[in-house]
Amino acid sequence: MNILLACAAAVFALGLVFAWRRERHLLRRRMLLTEILDLADALERELLECRARLREVPAIAAAALSPAEAVSARATLAAEPQVQEALRDLLAHRLWLRQHAMRASDAELLAARDALDATRGTLARQLERLADVRADVEQTRATLAAQPSEVPH
């Protein structure tokens, strides 16, 4: 009788350990999915911000620069299709997550998280460059405004 009780206790203990490990795994997975969705939301906000900043540059440049320089500044709009493509890719990733998140392996989810994180890093560097361009244009505008204008006689 004691052997049966000991075996039952051992099986129960193993069941508890198994349930605890499974619950921890499911919790980590839920946290990973939440992290992925949060990264996707942040990336979307940053892409929309990037697109808005790209659209501001030509107007700022037109007010501050010569027509030839303004044409160069308007070339920043050439990057807008890349932002649109990134937004479409992000939507595709969201759809993939919706359809496959429950069956995806942990490795696939980690790869998705790492890809989103890397994309955000790249975008952050692009936004910094865009801020530098904007600052340069603003500085040029301030310099031109400070110079005495030439009045033809």
Count of domains observed in the chain: 1
20 domain-assigned = no
DSSP state, residue 148: P
152 part of a folded domain: no
Tell whether 2 is covered by a domain: no
pTM of the model: 0.70
pLDDT of 146: 79
What CA–CA distances, in Å, run from 108 to 27, 40, 45, 85? 17, 15, 24, 22
pLDDT tens readout for residues 80-104? 788 888 888 899 889 988 898 889 9
- Residue, of 21 and 136, whose pLDDT is higher: 21
Q: What percent of the chain has pLDDT over 90?
A: 25
113 domain-assigned:
yes
Instruction: Indicate whether 69 belongs to any domain.
Output: yes
Q: Which of 45, 47, 29 lies closest to 104 in space, CA to CA? A: 29
Tell me, yes or no, whether 131 lies in a domain.
yes
What is the rounded average pLDDT for all residues in the chain? 82
pLDDT for 151 beyond 70:
no
Kindly state whether residue 123 falls inside one of the protein's structural domains: yes
Domain that holds residue 36: 29-142
